[in-house]
Amino acid sequence: MRRLLVLLSLTLLVSPAAAAPSRVVPASMPQVQLTFAPVVKRIAPAVVNVYARSVEQVATNPFFANPLFAQLFGADPQMRQRVQQSLGSGVIVRADGVILTNNHVVAGGTDIVVALADKREFKARVLLADPRTDLAVLKIDTRGEQLATVPFADSDQVQVGDLVLAVGDPFGVGQTVTMGIVSALARTQVSGSDYQFFIQTDAAINPGNSGGALVTTDGKLAGINTSILSRTGESIGIGFAIPANLARRVLEGALGGGVRLAWIGADGQQVTADIAAGLGIAVPNGVLLKSVYPGGPAANAGLHTGDVIFSVDGQPVNDMQALNYRIATRKPGDVVKLHVHLGRQAADVAMTLALPPENPPRDLQTVGGRNPLTGAKIENLSPAVATELQMPLLSRGVAIAAVAAGTPSGGYGFQPGDIVRGVNGVEIRSVGDLQKALAGASAWSLVIDRGGQRLSLDVQG
């Protein structure tokens, strides 16, 4: 009986009725009508629509679109123009008409139009388009008019669970505001870029929202809405935004002569459970260095292959994309504090950031004449070029920097980042070697390195 009474007492102590928090009836209409309308009213004029128009040449007979077939049959393919349009959003970040958007919104566009919230339209010029970060900076001529802007937030202060608003023009239906929370931070396995480090949100983001604003509830720019994870192309509550701190660095570069992202001078990989066990690390966190460039910032700070970096200025890094992001939001010359694992000892190390060296000089040239690489831009590989093309740190040789559509190089399927290793049995070490090997030949046997895979191409003249 005594035991039963004790159990009954405990039950009463933890009963839902006893533990339930008190509820308060709203005392006034303003409390009932809590709303984000004042924030939206302030930021909406600073979110714009971006229309990009591009014209490409297309063969009327697809058979002759391949330069090889055109050469074999002596045909000069008839070409026609095809107009493509892309729709996205943008954010005014400076009152004189400077706008942030996504690179993929304006990539390849010849005519770019910005439509303000009040329906006025302006032709825009691209100050900078950076595929590494998928950000672009536009400028419109306001003729002295000062436009509404969205101020930057410190995106490092954004936390999971924060309320956010996504503002843009989904599906071209007109400016739309959706609300959600920050679902996750530091999402890096979303795209192939070395600098992608996303804020994830469940605020609805759909096609046309790209380049729009992800805004905190106090009306500041937390990020640039960029992509979604979806099997249908429509929002399922998994959207991603580029953090404002990286967007601000790109903006500064656009207004100051180009984006020059700081460099650590090392490549690495995520620390797995097996790696952590082998190194005596209790929890599998951090970035294990696989290669360190001699004389680079990491080497000068005393780091070596096999060391592990856990954090940059107190911010954790768990893969190479996160590490690159943390470095990119700083400036060359800044000193950052790394928490590292050296051998079997944890330590704090100061590292001075720098720009990747351009050694050897890039010697950028466009291949001419009649050969499979005609129309391609080629350059000598250096840490600077490898960083721009998002290639391994210690890459050497001659890289294809760009391929022009409608040229043999485009028709044969060459891609930016391909390394030309050999032509007709001759090893290629420089741009001069490649130009010399291509000239005067009537047939070409090329060896290409694409992401570590060896490819061969034989072409008859």
68 or 165, higher pLDDT:
165
Q: Is residue 52 pLDDT above 90, yes or no?
A: no
Class of residue 360 by CB neighbours under 10 A (exposed 0-12, middle 13-18, buried 19+): middle
Alpha carbon distance, N-terminus to C-terminus of the chain: 102
Q: Is the separation of the CB atoms in 178 and 163 below 8 Å?
A: no
Q: pLDDT over 90 for what percent of the chain? A: 53
- Distance CA(227)–CA(220), nearest Å, equals 20
CATH value of 155-246 in 3.40.190.10, 2.40.10.10, 2.120.10.70, 3.40.50.2300: 2.40.10.10
Write the secondary structure of 346-397 as one string of H (helix), E (strand) and C (coil): EEEEEEECECCCCCCCCCCEECCCCCCCCCCEEEECCHHHHHHCCCCCCCCC
Question: Is 155-246 in the same CATH topology as 43-140?
Answer: yes
| DSSP symbols for 32-58 | HT--SHHHHHHHGGGEEEEEEEEEEEE
Q: Locate 222 and state its tokens.
A: 């937390």
Bridge partner residues of 199 (DSSP): 241
The CATH class that applies to domain 43-140 reads mainly beta
Q: Which range among 115-119, 294-298, 379-383 shows the weakest confidence by mean pLDDT? A: 115-119
Q: What's the confidence (pLDDT) of residue 227?
A: 76
Catalytic residues: 104, 134, 210
Give the start-to-end residue ranges of the domains of the chain.
43-140, 155-246, 266-352, 365-460
Q: Locate 298 and state its tokens.
A: 């990491």
Q: Alpha-carbon torsion 298, 303, 304, 308, what sign?
A: negative
- Distance CA(105)–CA(50), nearest Å, equals 8
Q: What's the confidence (pLDDT) of residue 73?
A: 47
- Distance CA(161)–CA(228), nearest Å, equals 19
205 or 332, higher pLDDT:
332
- Distance CA(182)–CA(198), nearest Å, equals 11
Bridge partner residues of 216 (DSSP): 164
Query: In the structure, what pLDDT confidence band is assigned to residue 11 with cuts at 50, 70 and 90?
Result: very low
401 φ/ψ angles, rounded to the nearest 5 degrees = -90, -35
**pLDDT tens digits, one per residue of 114-162:** 999 988 999 999 999 988 889 999 999 999 999 999 999 999 898 998 9
Query: In the structure, what pLDDT confidence band is assigned to residue 396 with cuts at 50, 70 and 90?
Result: very high
Identify which of 339, 361, 336 has the alpha carbon closest to the alpha carbon of residue 348: 339
102 or 171, higher pLDDT:
102
Q: Locate 163 and state its tokens.
A: 């309320």
Q: Locate 129 and state its tokens.
A: 């388009």
Q: Locate 374 and state its tokens.
A: 């005609």
Longest dimension (CA), the chain: 106
277 three-state secondary structure: helix
Identify which of 434, 299, 276, 296 has the alpha carbon closest to the alpha carbon of residue 365: 434
CATH value of 266-352 in 2.60.40.10, 3.40.50.300, 2.30.42.10, 3.40.50.620: 2.30.42.10
Tell me: domain 365-460, CATH 2.60.40.10, correct?
no
The residue to which tokens 């050469």 are assigned: 71
In degrees, rounded to 5, the angle at the alpha carbon of residue 447 between the alpha carbons of residues 446 and 452 is: 155
